[in-house]
Amino acid sequence: MLTEALKEEIQTAYSRLLEEKGYRARHCQKSMIAEIARTLGNVPEDNSVCVVEAGTGTGKTIAYAMASIPIAKQLKKKIVIATATVALQEQIVYQDLPDIRLHSGLEFSFALAKGRRRYLCLSRLDLALQDSSQVNQTFSFFENADGDSDQVDSAIFDSMLTALGKGEWDGERDSWPEEINHATWARVSTDHAQCTHRQCSHYENCYFYRARENIHRVDCIVTNQDLVLSDLMMGGGAVLPDPEDTIYIFDEGHHLPEKAGNHFSHFLALYSTKTWLQQIPTSLKLASAEVPAVGSGLINDIDNMVQQASQRLDDAAQVLQLLKVDAEEQDDGWRYRFTRGRVGNDITEVSKQLANSFERLDDLVDRVLPLVETTLEDVSAAQRESVEYWLSLVGSISTRLSAAAELWHNFSVAEHSPPYARWVGFSTQGQAEGMEIQLSCHPVSVADELFERLWSRCAGAVLTSATLSVARDFSSFQSKSGIPPEMVFTSLASPFRYQEQAVLAVPKMRTDPGQADQHTQEIAELIPGLLDKEIGALVLFTSWRQMLRVFDDVDEAFRERILMQGELSKMEILGRHRDAVDRGEASCIFGLASFSEGVDLPGDYCRHVVIAKIPFSVPDDPVDATLSEWIEEKGGNSFYEVMLPNAALRVVQAAGRLLRTETDEGTVTILDRRVVSKSYGKVILNSLPPFAREIS
């Protein structure tokens, strides 16, 4: 219950913050504080979820911190703030929360939580420095499920060891002064399965466990949405506090359903799997030299099961190869998608056999783990390090076997409800067999999973973003996220004076995107004139092909001011753009979807946003195609229920790059006449802020 004392504490803290910072109260911010406080005030009597759509300039971090911190402390609950981007995560930890604590009078502690993969593993660093050992070569074979085999730069590892010894580095990837490629970092970090936990000789100095101990002492934990989802998939409470003891705040909450879908998807490369599978008996024979308890009988059982699984993989390959005749050509090979996610009996049968083989093999490998753990208790300090490596290796093998079993189990069921998008890829890249066969499955809906693992368990939750509804209709997001419809959904007015600050322009054009080549050519003709007098501009495309064509065809003099995605990193492009504008030089960024959100270019850095065309989903995307089929089968309309709402949200996100402060001004131009020539265009136009309009 939200008591009068709690209300007064929240109001007093907010007033003090405004006074000390010299801010003026914003109606939208006050409304957000009140809505969140009322919702969380129902804890613990009810699972309370509050969905708040609030635009740029609301001051969302202040709003949810002011409302949730006093309530969470009163209820003795932890707060977990989960963002979708590293940039926002760091802003909250290093700027927003310290500022709120300093000026509001609220007393609370906070810490940043990252997954194991963001921390150096001292045991793995030792292993990486032994680059010529048989143990290291065997271990590296199993460590990357994606098959990444970039050569490790041992000089980097030597530098890491030196920096640690001098106290110049804290063991976090994000604080290493130089960029580290994925393959190199993977050699010196670990995951839950490969970590030997308290068995590790470096446990007392482990950077991950030091950080983990700290997060359980604080009131507020800031992390990313992927770590929250990983924790929930492990049952909750594995890394973060138990959901029942947690109030979650999902900033950039519109990303949550998509990220959840990625966590519940599976992938397997058939011939690569066969290759690492056949290495298991050899690896365990090597391990038995250090761990005699891993006897020949167990290794022979594993060897026999590996041969059975390998033969069944060959059987699966024969069945799957038949699909290539009807597969569609892609840039990197061919792809066959199962209509409505339904697979035939021949595939379900071979998948059942493979699921059984991998599950039995995983059970056998799991019998090795306690034998290695027992050996660790008896060996000398000199032998301990080598045995630890084998414990980590066996954990890695078990993880991969379990993941493979899950994929085959998914394909062993002819039809799921809700369906999984399922497809088979055929690639000729780097395979001795001549053709790699890649199986993928991805749920079209995670609503049930999120409800069961999160919304039905958590003490309370707040989701906020600038783009959660379509013209204040939350039905699409509610359906995707699984949040019960009786929970609180609200859209707040923005502090911006849209009609005074910005113009939405839809110029007269000869073509529309249905005439792809002509439309691209017309965009190239229009852009120099549209942006000639703009010092800072952003042009957003939906495809590489169109962006590259426009760049090639645009006026040569204008081309000199363009910074195009793909030539430089995103951060480098934004940095060069700001530097050019600061020097008084005109600069224009050409970008794709990643530049449509999370890009902050206030003032002169962005006076004009150009949207090349309505960003509808790619027609052949396997997940969207399967979802559309499922909706149509149920009697729905996939265009109006999925494609149009998603496109409208993307247009709003793109337009949101223009106004970043209350003093910004500029223009949003849409070079797609369908927003006015098609009946569905009204949905998109009505979703946009109430800009002044210039529509030809």
Give all domains of the chain, ordered by start, each with its CATH number: 4-113+211-260+447-491 (3.40.50.300), 120-137+144-205 (no CATH), 269-440 (no CATH), 498-695 (3.40.50.300)
Q: Are β-strands 436-443 and 266-269 bridged in parallel, bridged antiparallel, or unpaired? A: antiparallel
Where the chain has pLDDT below 50, the residues are 132-135, 137, 144-152, 432
CA distance 102 to 104: 6
Give just the sign of the alpha carbon dihedral 239, 242, 246, 250.
Answer: positive
* Residue 131 pLDDT: 54
* Residue 152 pLDDT: 46
* Residue 32 pLDDT: 97
CA distance 304 to 298: 10
Bond before 44 cis per omega within 30 degrees: yes
* Residue 145 pLDDT: 43
Q: What is the DSSP string of 511-551?
A: --TTSHHHHHHHHHHHHHHHHTT-SEEEEE-S-HHHHHHHH
Tens-digit pLDDT profile for residues 336-362: 999 999 999 999 999 999 999 999 999
CA distance 402 to 120: 25
Host H or E run for residue 670 = strand 666-670
* Residue 608 pLDDT: 98
Burial of 498 (0-12, 13-18, 19+ CB in 10 A): middle
CA distance 1 to 3: 6
Q: Are β-strands 460-465 and 488-491 bridged in parallel, bridged antiparallel, or unpaired? A: unpaired
Number of residues that this document lists for the chain: 696
Q: Contact 387/291 with Cβ under 8 angstroms?
A: yes
Using CA atoms, how far residue 302 sits from 194, 281, 575, 589, in Å, is 20, 7, 54, 56
- Best CA proximity match to 570, nearest among 555, 553, 590, 551: 590
* Residue 149 pLDDT: 40
CA distance 194 to 393: 7
The percent of residues above 70 in pLDDT, for the chain, comes to 95
* Residue 47 pLDDT: 66
- Tell me the two tokens of residue 39: 């919702």
CA distance 482 to 666: 37
Three-state SS for 602-667 is CHHHCCEEEECCCCCCCCCCHHHHHHHHHHHHCCCCHHHHHHHHHHHHHHHHHHCCCCCCCCCCEE
CA distance 596 to 657: 7
Tens-digit pLDDT profile for residues 89-146: 889 999 999 999 999 999 999 999 888 888 888 877 887 777 544 445 455 555 544 4
